[in-house]
Amino acid sequence: MHKKIVLFSLFMVTTTQAEAEKKFELDKTKWISVGAGLRSSFRAHENTPDWDNSVNLDNFRLYLNGQIHQYLKIEFNTECSSCGRGGDFQILDAIGKFEFHPMANVWLGRQLVPAERREMNGPFYSAVYNIFQSGTPFEPADYNTVIKAGGVSAGSVGRDDGVTFWGAAFDGHFQYAAGFFRGLRGGANSGDNPLYAQRFAYNFWSVEKNPGYYTSGTYFGKGGDILTLAVSNQYQENGAGTVTDSGDFRGTAVDILMEKNLPNSGVVTFNGEYKNYDITNGYSMASRIAGGGFSMFQGNAVDVSGMYLFPQKILIGQIQPFVRYVDVVPTASANREVYEAGMNYVIDGHNAKISLSYQYGDLMTKGMDYKSTASGDKINAMNVNFQWQI
């Protein structure tokens, strides 16, 4: 009872004191931390003959982490679902953690499904703000923002219910994460086949240091010189399609991060990924055109970006211009691409930054329509983005 009262008092402190610490130690082995993250943007895109303008609340998250034993931890995070339509809070992560040794750990519950770097970064730790809105096709767990039954959902926001085994070897240079998850719920997956996911990465230069098997799209030069190559794979029997025309889903990706600190204290960062997704043993184009079911992407995609962080500070932040190119080539559907150029104003790493970007291409109009009839014009778009986190 006493511990519950102390914990309640600590939460009261965090809500009434702007300068409060976010981590509280209950005793030598027990602690709890709280935090929050906000992403908001202004977007203007071409829509002949005029332009459409919108102000968006893209993400609002509350973070809660704790340790209850030397080897036992817990994580609970929330997300604002459908923020643009009023919004309501949903469970983002709910993880019980058994962390025994750097080489062998187990997480159980709702968590990130091991995948390519973009998914492991999430929106808050990616190098480019629009990494999801105009990026490569989604993995099954990121197909929806909320979990649904009836064969139209395999998780939400990159998360799913399952178990992940993760760790590192060779002084942390080799990192792995592998697990099994619920995947597609019902529909094409009437037999409740699990989804299997793996990610293996090797750090050739400095070792990337992140919680668990998470990653970052940039360290702003503070993580040393980074060169990491990774491969990930997901597979689910009957993981796509409809009840009457199901197919086996397989998604493979290769990603690379290179970040180099230059003699003038500037930082060069390069991110690249290649995806190859395939659906076999069913799910015909006729079924895609008819609609319904779980219409996963099938084909190839590339996403590359480069940026340079100027060492000089202007007022309270640093300038980081960037360029990006995304090319999506679906099987039996129209190709789509987007060019992007912009600038980040980095105030406090991933905790506080503002970005401005310009985009041109047809990826924004064709979107996730992978039917043979997909069409869309190449358009211009401007974005102003804000990200705060504590």
Give the other-Cβ count within 10 Å of 171's Cβ. 9
Q: Note the pTM of the prediction, 2 decimals.
A: 0.91
Q: Give the pLDDT confidence score for residue 50 in this predicted structure.
A: 76
Q: Give the pLDDT confidence score for residue 28 in this predicted structure.
A: 85
CATH code for position 317: 2.40.160.10
Record the tokens describing residue 3, joined without a space: 């511990």
Segments of the chain scoring below 50 in pLDDT: 1-21
User: Residue 7 — φ and ψ, nearest 5°?
Assistant: -65, -45
Helix (H) or strand (E) holding 30: none
pLDDT digits (tens, 9 = 90+) for 211-257: 999 999 999 999 999 999 999 999 999 999 999 999 999 999 999 99
Q: Give the pLDDT confidence score for residue 7 in this predicted structure.
A: 39
141-162 b/e with 16+ CB inside 10 Å = b? Answer: bbbbeebeeebbbbbbbbbbbb
pLDDT digits (tens, 9 = 90+) for 118-153: 999 999 999 999 999 899 999 999 998 889 889 999
Burial class (CB in 10 A: 0-12, 13-18, 19+), 53: exposed
Q: DSSP string spanning 295-339?
A: ----EEEEEEEEEEE-SSEETTEEEEEEEEEEEEEETTS--EEEE
> Cα separation of 153 and 81, whole Å?
15
Q: How many independent structural domains does the chain possess? A: 1
Helix (H) or strand (E) holding 287: helix 285-290
**Local structure of 289: helix, strand or coil:** helix
The boundaries of the domain holding residue 205 are: 2-389
> Cα separation of 77 and 90, whole Å?
9
Q: Give the pLDDT confidence score for residue 362 in this predicted structure.
A: 96
**Local structure of 12: helix, strand or coil:** helix
